[in-house]
Amino acid sequence: MSLYLLSRSPWERQDYKTVLSLCKAQAEQGIDAAVLCIQDAVVAEKNAPPDYEEMVRLAKEAGVRFYVLSADLLARGLLPSVSEPVDYDGFLRLILKHKTVV
């Protein structure tokens, strides 16, 4: 079970490509994988590059779960649209639930 944290806007850095590929591959092997967007990565809820949106769609189809930190959405005046919102307690529960946090 792995939880991957994305903290940078997909417009600023493209590390999401590696993260989403790894998550999808794990899910396809039956390994529980999840992504939590925090800080500037939450802008992807409203505005993301087309390849990001396609990679998220494919990862979700493979069974990857997506979460977004509510406080970071609120700080940027955004609403969740792609991911399940979690508060700080939910963030902690996700960390404790997953064996590996990257």
Domain ranges of the chain: 2-101
* Cα dihedral 31→9→14→19 (10° resolution): -10
- The full DSSP string for 75-87 is HTT---SSSEEE-
Pair 21, 54: CB distance under 8 Å:
no
What pLDDT does 49 receive? 86
Instruction: Write out the CATH class of domain 2-101.
Output: alpha beta
Opening angle at CA 79, ends 75 and 85, nearest 5: 90
pLDDT given at position 96: 93
Q: How confident is the model at residue 86 (pLDDT cuts 50, 70, 90)?
A: very high
Predicted confidence band at 13 (pLDDT cuts at 50, 70, 90)? Answer: confident
Which neighbouring-strand residues pair with 53? none
Query: pTM (2 decimals)?
Result: 0.91
What tens digit of pLDDT does each residue of 46-67 get?
Answer: 888 888 889 999 999 999 999 9
Residue type, 98: H
- Quick check: helix, strand or coil at residue 9? coil
Length of the chain (residues): 102
